[in-house]
Chains A and B, each alone.
Chain A
């Protein structure tokens, strides 16, 4: 079953009494346990798509379904990882991760177990009682990912989660996410403007046009990854060096560049 479905989604924005189209007939499905990256020029509406799946915004027309149910508002079945982490600064690492479980009234025993699991999974042992401001950006984003993962959500919605991290931390987190996807596959919608990141992480990459955003092309990375055995390589840089990787990346770059050139008037 398809976990996330965008069905002919349109979205208008109102400004000064005039209406601007932001999204134009976006149709996209993310299968169960599939990792789809959405790339596009800035301002194309990719974040708006994610925010609709999260329930923070509603389509002007069309439907967004998660697990077959139309999205009407935010909820813990669709966990969001924000670019700015959005941790609760007044709560310890542990309490941040526990927050969603406590909302769901998960019994204390099970809660402790799941929190410990999430902390182990994200390599946060020893930081349980630290406050977010005591951690580096990379560690804070690990907490945010743990906070989302621990809910065991139907869909993980990641909005440029590594956009605020430095280059080295970013690479570590990308490797981590790939490892996580192998151990514990989830349905993921991942927004990024970094093409290499999209190709490295995703099963499929959806390319959007410039505003008003449409889905221009969807590229199946998974079959190439399997055929070319990318997973033999542990490190990001080794994968990114493979001819098949470079080829895909260049293809997506060209596709995006057409949009950017077209956008310059």
Chain B
């Protein structure tokens, strides 16, 4: 399908969904607005949190707070995860040392770290970053590792016969050769970051989109819950999109994909 046509179809689907929503809640009354807010209520709540604020801050401040934590946790995780994955992929010895520890940590769901994080670090930012770190670290290590192991052996041999030193082997051979898998890892890490952040903020937070959801739930305010959800959705989409743009820029040698 042509991109312009694709876009048109997408817009139409969303518009249709909105229309059905509006009709069911505001015209026929099939769905009780006490449980599921109408588009108008949704809009009113959005305006409230955008201008006056809710749960001690405006939507912008909450969103910025959450975004900041995700970016920090994600960056720390990949800054540690990618080098570790490269090392494990390149050196069988490093893999033999690290893998047992990794196998132990890996099956623990990231959300299971939340209680410990709160006990250790409280309800503040540090606990969230720790939880995001554990969630985002694992996929970036595993995919980088797999990416290095999947490199065509002839490519490594070609680099060796050309007299490539260790630094350039890592920077100009291993990293670019593994980069499609590394980026797969980054995408998974980013998704995991958002998932765990919202969960951690739901359990206890002083600010952030998870706190908006939590307070709105206690206030029995479904419209505000939905505004919070929508905000998480938009931010998650925007950061994923940004990562995809970086990915396309970072690997100009790949044949264009649809």
Contacts and interface: CB of A to CB of B under 8 A. Distances in A.
B242 interface: no
Contact of A74 (B155, B157, B252): B157
Interface string B153-185: 011011111111100100011001101000000
B255 A133 contact: yes
B168 A54 contact: no
B253 A78 contact: no
Contacts of B164: 99, 103
Contacts of B161: 54-56, 74-76, 78-80
A132 B255 CA distance: 10
B152 interface: yes
B230 interface: no
Contacts of A89: 177, 253
A63 interface: no
A84 interface: yes
Given A103-B168, A133-B253, A133-B255, A86 B158 contact: yes
Nearest to B154: A86
Interface residues of A, number: 28
Band of interface residues on B:
20 to 34
A100 B154 contact: no
A55 B164 CA distance: 14
A88 B157 contact: no
Contacts, number: 70
B251 interface: yes
The prevalent SS among residues of A at the interface is loop
A133 B252 CA distance: 11
A82 interface: yes
B163 A86 contact: no
Interface in A76-96: 76, 78-80, 82, 84, 86-91
A235 B159 CA distance: 35
B168 A74 contact: no
Nearest to B162: A100
Nearest to B176: A90
B155 A88 contact: yes
Contacts of B168: 102-103
Interface string A58-84: 000000000000000111101110101
A151 interface: yes
Interface in A41-61: 54-56
A76 B162 contact: yes
A104 interface: yes
A54 B168 CA distance: 20
Nearest to A87: B158
B162 A151 contact: yes
Q: For the complex of A and B, list the 5 residue pairs with the smallest distance between their C-beta atoms, beginning with the closest.
A: A86-B154, A100-B162, A76-B163, A90-B176, A86-B158
Given A88-B173, A151-B162, 19 more contacts: A54-B157, A55-B161, A56-B161, A75-B161, A76-B163, A79-B161, A82-B154, A86-B152, A86-B155, A88-B158, A88-B159, A88-B172, A90-B251, A99-B159, A99-B172, A103-B162, A103-B163, A131-B252, A133-B254
21 contacts: A73-B160, A74-B163, A75-B163, A78-B161, A79-B162, A80-B157, A80-B158, A80-B161, A86-B155, A88-B158, A88-B172, A88-B176, A89-B177, A90-B177, A90-B253, A99-B162, A99-B172, A103-B165, A103-B168, A133-B253, A133-B255
Interface of B: 152, 154-155, 157-165, 168, 172-173, 176-177, 179, 251-255
